[in-house]
Structure formats: C-alpha cells, structure tokens
Amino acid sequence: MNLTRLLAAAAASAAGLGLLAYTSAASLAYHPEDGARLRLSWSARPERIEKCRQLSAEEQAQREEHMRQRVECEGGFASYALRVEVDDRSIGETVFRGGGLRHDRPMHVLRDFPVPAGEHRVRVRVTRRETTDDDAAAFAQPVVPDADTGLFAGRAQREAAERARSARAAIPPALLLDTTFRFTPRQVALVSFDAERRVLVLHGRGGETAGRPR
C-alpha cells in the first residue's frame, strides 16, 4: 500500500466510523411540542348484569343432585361510557367493555390525551351503560330446607359471600374524578383506578387526587 492510498484508507475508515457513530445515536425527535398529557390507565373487571330467579322444588327435583341450584341467573357483562373533559370541554368519549368474546375478562383502559401545559380542570367520568333489575329478591327467598342440609349446608351464606366478592371485584357503576391540576410541560398526569378505595385517582408529581364513586 503506498502512502497516498494509506492516507486515503485512513481518512475513509475514519469517515466510515464517524458515520457509524453518528447513525448509531442520532438525535431523533420524539415529543417535540412542550405540551403535557393526560393518561388514563387501569384494568378492572366489568360488572355482571344478571336476571335471577328461584327454582321451584319440582324443578330442582328433576335435576341431578349436584346440579340443584336454588337460584339460576342469566345475563352478561356491563359496558361503560368514558368521558374526559378538560376545562369543561370534552376531549374524549368512548365506550369500553371487558375482554374476550363474552366480554367477561377484565377490561383494560389505556388512552393518552394531549393537554396544554398549565392549570386545567380535569373531569373523568365512567358510567355503566346498562341498567339492572334488582335481583336481590331472588336470593332473599326463604331457603329450601332440604337443599341446605348435609352436603349443601351453608350454601346460602357462601352464595351471598361470593356475590358480594364479585360485586366488589367489579368496577363501580359510576365513577367521577373532578379536579384541577397544574400540568408542567412534558408531564404525563396519570389517572388510574384504585381497586381498594374503588375510586379514580390522578397521580401527578407531588401527590395524587382521588375522585369518588358517583
């Protein structure tokens, strides 16, 4: 290799490596605007909406012993309307429901809304779309004495406890978060569902604001 070629090769190699280093970490715009975001993110179980009726003693007698339910329920899972307002102006409205073909799986919400930096009134409203009949009556009927003895002892209590548990596991029929929040530039304020307190919560830097069930 003569000197000229050596110098040319060195220069070309240096240029190639420089280009490699540049393309390996080129600064690429991601969120160039100075705005902020309101993010809604939670997972919750939809409520089961059922119509229940008590089976008569004759109906129960026709069934196998292990199939003798006192109360039979039919129904589906609730869907929910979500409305997001910033400064009394709606910025998003949608309907969400449980996952899976029968919508019986948890529903997942993940939405981002751009919001200009500054102080804003934020209102997030979740409302169940279906109305329910009060089916408590079906469960409140006097217990059929034969069915709740022996193998079935304590069944009424267990059924009541199970219904209470699943009702608590589901999202309440109505939720409202209504608060004023100061968005700093590039901040993401997060609204999530607190399953313990059963309220929507807005997390920002320096604390959180809880909403309330309506």
Partner 1 sequence: MRLLKRWFRGVLAGLDAVLNRVYGWERNPIHQAGTVAVAMLLVLLGTGLYLVLYYRVGAPAASVARLAADPWLGGWMRTLHRYGSDLFVIAAALHAFRMFAQDRSWGPRTLAWVSGLSLFAAGLICAWTGFVMAWDSFGERLALEGARLFDVLPLFSEPLSRIFAGDGPVPSAFFFVNLFIHIALPLGLGIGLWLHVSRLARPALLPPRRLLWAIIGLLTLASVLLPAPLGPAADPLRLAPSTPTDLVVAWWLPLSERLPAGAAWSAGLLLSLLALLVPRFTRHPREARWAPSTVDPRLCTGCNQCPQDCPWEAITMVGRDDGSPTLVAAVNASRCVSCGICAGSCAPMGVGPTGRTGRDQLTGLREVTLPALARGGAVPTIAICCAQAPAAHRAALQARGAHVHLVSCIGNLHSSVIEFFLRSGAPGVMVGGCPPRDCSSREGPRWLRQRLLNGREAELQSRVDRRRVGLATLAPGALAETVAAFERFTRQLPAAPVPEPESNPDLDTECEPVPLEEAAK
By beta-carbon proximity to partner 1, the closer residue of 8 and 153 is: 8
8, 57, 151, 169: which one contacts partner 1 (CB under 8 A)? 8
168-172: Cβ within 8 A, 24+ apart = 168/198, 169/45, 170/44, 170/45, 170/46, 170/47, 170/48, 170/78, 171/44, 171/45, 171/46, 171/47, 171/80, 171/107, 171/126, 171/198, 172/198, 172/213
By beta-carbon proximity to partner 1, the closer residue of 5 and 66 is: 5
State in Å, rounded, how far the first CA of the chain is from the last one: 83
Q: What are phi and psi of 39, to 5 degrees?
A: -115, 130
- Cα 17 to Cα 207: distance, rounded to the nearest angstrom: 47
Q: Which of residues 77-96 bind partner 1 (CB under 8 A)?
A: none
- Cα 187 to Cα 203: distance, rounded to the nearest angstrom: 11
- DSSP annotation of 135: -
1, 67, 136, 140: which one contacts partner 1 (CB under 8 A)? 1
For 93, the token pair is 């409205």
Task: With H, G, I as helix, E, B as strand and everything else as coil, classify residue 147.
Answer: helix
52, 99, 144, 152: which one contacts partner 1 (CB under 8 A)? 99
3, 32, 88, 196: which one contacts partner 1 (CB under 8 A)? 32
Residue type, 172: P
When asked if residue 39 is in the footprint of partner 1 (CB under 8 A), the reply is yes
For 60, the token pair is 């129960």
When asked if residue 3 is in the footprint of partner 1 (CB under 8 A), the reply is no
Task: With H, G, I as helix, E, B as strand and everything else as coil, classify residue 172.
Answer: coil
- DSSP annotation of 173: S
Site pattern 102..141 for partner 1 (x: CB under 8 A) = ---xx-x-x-------------------------------
By beta-carbon proximity to partner 1, the closer residue of 35 and 143 is: 35
Cβ 186 to partner 1 shortest distance, Å: 4
When asked if residue 18 is in the footprint of partner 1 (CB under 8 A), the reply is yes
When asked if residue 203 is in the footprint of partner 1 (CB under 8 A), the reply is yes
When asked if residue 169 is in the footprint of partner 1 (CB under 8 A), the reply is no
Contact set with partner 1 (CB under 8 A): 1, 5, 8-9, 12-13, 17-18, 20-21, 23-32, 35-37, 39, 41-43, 99, 105-106, 108, 110, 186-190, 192, 203, 205
